[in-house]
A and B are shown apart, each in its own frame.
Chain A
Amino acid sequence: MLPVHYYLGLSVILFIIGTLGVLIRRNAIVVFMSIELMLNAANLAFVAYALYWQSMNGQIFVFFIMTVAAAEVAIGLALIVTIFRTKASIDVDQISTLKG
């Protein structure tokens, strides 16, 4: 088994690329995909530590994270479709509907 720091380093790199995607991209769908990338990087760290401590709890948590990600994507994409219907745009800079 490789040292757990290799997997942690890769997980950090993927997480930061996801953070950059959330901060830079203006397409709401790509922002959502970046959030998925960050969740997946966290999953990688969980599984690496599950093997390291020889405990199943890390893998079980990855299962729950996947479930939450699936629910989040379903709701988020439904919201994006609804916003696109009313505003004809999914640019996050132009979505200020909730502003008073």
Chain B
Amino acid sequence: MQLLLFLVLALVAIASALGMLISRNAIYSALFLVLNFATVAVYFLLLNAPFIAVAQVSVYTGAIMVLFLFVIMLLGAERAGSVQAIQWQRPLAIALAVILFLEAGYIIFTQRGVTPLVTTPLPEGFGSPSQVGTSLYTSYLLPFEITSVLLLVAMVGAIILTKGEKK
């Protein structure tokens, strides 16, 4: 049952990622990517990570992709760059991607039996928001504070970059 769910969702995820890659219009690319992020959020639910799944939906598909769609429609540049300037770039890129895929596939295939399947039951409340919060505020307090500074810097930087020139 879980395998069937995994396979169907994998089909949707890969098809939507390919749709993002192939579609000519950048708006369709953004919408395909929203679908992909939503399916990955379901995977996070399957993997006992409800907090990460909700954060995925609210941060990625909510905030980030809305920002993307907003910028695409603001610029009106959804069809830019359809002509390839360098002719040999696309075949070379596909060849490099195939090589990377073969390497990764070989590694995963040969390492298949090395890590045994864990069958011990999960501890109580694994991945729950309270456990994530406890871990964030005890062992990861300094990185958590640094991320707040990072977000502040990004916000100030975006405002300074896009504000109009003083006449």
Interface residues, chain A, with chain B CB atoms under 8 Å away: 1-10, 12-14, 16-21, 23-30, 32-34, 36-37, 40, 43-44, 47-48, 50-54, 56-57, 59-60, 62-64, 66-75, 77-82, 84, 89-94
Q: A17-B14, A40-B60 are in contact. Are A70 and B154 (CB under 8 A)?
A: yes
Task: Among B20, B67, B84, B132, point to the contact of A77 (Cβ < 8 A).
Answer: B67
Q: How large is the interface on B (under 10, 10 to 19, 20 to 34, 35 or more residues)?
A: 35 or more
Residues on A with C-beta less than 8 A from B118 are 1, 52-54
Smallest CB separation, A77 vs chain B (Å): 5
Which residues of chain A are near B8, meaning CB under 8 Å? none
Report A26 CB to chain B, min CB distance, Å: 3
Contacting residues, chain B, for A12 (C-beta < 8 A): 101, 104-105, 108
A16, B117: Cβ atoms closer than 8 Å: no
- Inter-subunit contact B29/A30 (CB<8 Å): yes
B17 & A17 in contact (Cβ 8 Å cutoff): yes
A85 → chain B closest CB, angstroms:
9
Choice from A25, A36, A82 contacting B33 with Cβ under 8 Å: A36
Contacting pair B21 A21 (CB below 8 A): yes
Contact A84 B10 (CB under 8 A): no
Give the contacting residue for A29; candidates B63, B77, B105, B120; CB below 8 A. Answer: B77
